[in-house]
């Protein structure tokens, strides 16, 4: 029991406390209404790994024809996108490039998102692809890569012999590529669910080629010499690159990539036998290890495209790798490709980029014929390789409309 003398004092203390509490509550409420945070009200920053775990964190997808085509589900219309759809054929891209170096654009999420968005403002495309380059992986491994105007990528200190593998800095690579994840996450918000967003990577053999040749090469003679002269070092390099590619793709999916494309753009330099023994095992492992790692982390998998340019000789083998979609170059007829892969894979492609220089009428006819040959089921329209810099912009409009009109 409280003594009668101290009772008024306790009462006064209680009243004062309650009054203070009410005043503080009113003060905080007033500040919140004014938009002023009276104390740190922001939730702690969400680690990148958690950002996209629930796709509900991002705006809902309005056009999912690309994803449905990849999964073999019915589509409203044949989805179409174009490899290198953000690029030099667009004056607004040239404008950004006039002010910023190529890798600065890649490394600055605002700039990467701006150029990713550019083709979507002009054309009724069914997909976007994050602006970056396949050579960011060699760069993150410590190999200098420069983008020389009119020349293309230059690696001034290529790998010369097996001892140079020591130069590869394999720790912290994905941390150094975090800017790609940041661009992907920013882009998912910017897209507002308009179309799905592709992430991508170069495949190990293609990356190995650039790292040994020191840039693009007509013959790949040095990289091919490695395969015969240094078989063990070649395999070690391919293994290192495969591991990095897997972790890089895991990071991209976590950041919000809804589909992935693996570019084996230099498969055309390999014989069929070499493609099957050098390239394909890496491509298979990328798929298997990626799915396992995503499952381990409770992250839903996304559909994947395998684009092995110049490896149309091995479509049957490619169709057994588990990739939902196979990208075709223009050297194969759509009906022939379908015959070789069977009904359970989606095909993507395959207009000759050179056809984009034809008259609008001729181009439209070519596209209509192509799309009708592929059919509406399990098909994604695209070129058979990247769009070239001099392509008339109008050809893109004609291409996209013809795809959507065809069926």
248 labelled catalytic: no
Give the shortest CB-135-to-ligand CP3 separation in angstroms.
6
Size of the site for ligand CP3 (CB under 6 A): 23
Residue 200 binds ligand CP3, judged by CB under 6 A: yes
Residue 88 binds ligand CP3, judged by CB under 6 A: yes
Catalytic residue among 97, 188, 285, 364: 97
Q: Is 180 helix (H, G, I), strand (E, B) or coil?
A: helix
Catalytic residue among 64, 84, 285, 364: 84
Give the shortest CB-36-to-ligand CP3 separation in angstroms.
42
337: left (phi over 0), alpha (psi -120 to 50) or beta: alpha
Give the shortest CB-262-to-ligand CP3 separation in angstroms.
10
Determine which residue in the list 79, 87, 109, 353 makes contact with ligand CP3, applying CB under 6 A.
Answer: 87
210 labelled catalytic: yes
Using Cβ positions, the residue closest to ligand CP3 within the complex turns out to be: 265
Which residues inside 91-130 make contact with ligand CP3, applying CB under 6 A? 97, 102, 129
Which residues inside 16-35 make contact with ligand CP3, applying CB under 6 A? none
Determine which residue in the list 386, 392, 397, 407 makes contact with ligand CP3, applying CB under 6 A.
Answer: 386
Residue 83 binds ligand CP3, judged by CB under 6 A: yes
Residue 153 binds ligand CP3, judged by CB under 6 A: yes
84 labelled catalytic: yes
Determine which residue in the list 90, 125, 134, 260 makes contact with ligand CP3, applying CB under 6 A.
Answer: 134
Q: Give whichever of 31 and 147 is closer to ligand CP3, judged by the CB atom.
A: 147
Q: Which residues are tagged catalytic?
A: 84, 88, 97, 133, 210
Q: Which residues bind ligand CP3 (CB under 6 A)?
A: 83-88, 97, 102, 129, 131, 133-135, 147, 149, 152-153, 200, 216, 263, 265, 385-386
């Amino acid at each position: 029991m409280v003594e009668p003398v101290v009772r008024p004092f306790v009462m006064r203390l209680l009243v004062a406390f309650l009054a203070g509490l009410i005043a503080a509550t009113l003060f905080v409420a007033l500040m919140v209404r004014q938009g002023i945070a009276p104390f740190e009200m922001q939730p702690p920053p969400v680690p990148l790994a958690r950002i996209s775990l629930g796709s509900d964190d991002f705006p809902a997808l309005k056009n999912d024809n690309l994803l449905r085509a990849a999964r073999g589900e019915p589509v409203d219309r044949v989805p179409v996108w174009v490899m290198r759809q953000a690029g030099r054929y667009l004056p607004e891209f040239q404008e950004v490039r006039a002010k910023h170096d190529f890798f600065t654009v890649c490394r600055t999420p605002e700039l990467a998102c701006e150029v990713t968005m550019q083709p979507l403002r002009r054309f009724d495309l069914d997909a976007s692809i994050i602006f970056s380059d396949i050579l960011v992986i060699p760069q993150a491994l410590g190999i200098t890569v420069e983008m020389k105007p009119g020349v293309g990528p230059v690696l001034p200190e290529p790998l010369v012999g097996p001892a140079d593998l020591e130069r590869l800095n394999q720790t912290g690579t994905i941390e150094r590529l975090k800017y790609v994840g940041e661009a992907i996450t920013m882009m998912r918000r910017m897209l507002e669910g308009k179309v799905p967003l592709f992430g991508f990577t170069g495949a190990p053999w293609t990356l190995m080629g650039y790292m040994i040749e020191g840039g693009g090469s007509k013959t790949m003679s040095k990289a091919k010499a490695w395969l015969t002269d240094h078989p063990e070092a070649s395999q070690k390099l391919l293994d290192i690159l495969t591991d990095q590619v897997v972790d890089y793709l895991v990071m991209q999916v976590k950041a919000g990539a809804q589909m992935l494309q693996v570019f084996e753009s230099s498969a055309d330099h390999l014989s069929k036998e070499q493609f099957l023994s050098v390239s394909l095992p890496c491509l298979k492992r990328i798929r298997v290890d990626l799915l396992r790692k995503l499952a381990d982390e409770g992250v839903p998998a996304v559909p994947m495209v395998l684009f092995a340019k110049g490896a149309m000789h091995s479509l049957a083998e490619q169709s057994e790798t588990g990739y939902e979609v196979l990208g075709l170059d223009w050297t194969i007829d759509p009906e022939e490709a379908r015959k070789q892969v069977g009904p359970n894979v989606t095909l993507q492609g395959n207009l000759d980029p050179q056809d984009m220089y034809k008259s609008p009428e001729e181009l439209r006819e070519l596209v209509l014929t192509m799309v009708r040959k592929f059919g509406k089921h399990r098909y994604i329209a695209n070129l058979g390789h990247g769009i070239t810099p001099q392509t008339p912009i109008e050809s893109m409009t004609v291409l996209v409309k013809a795809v959507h009109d065809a069926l």
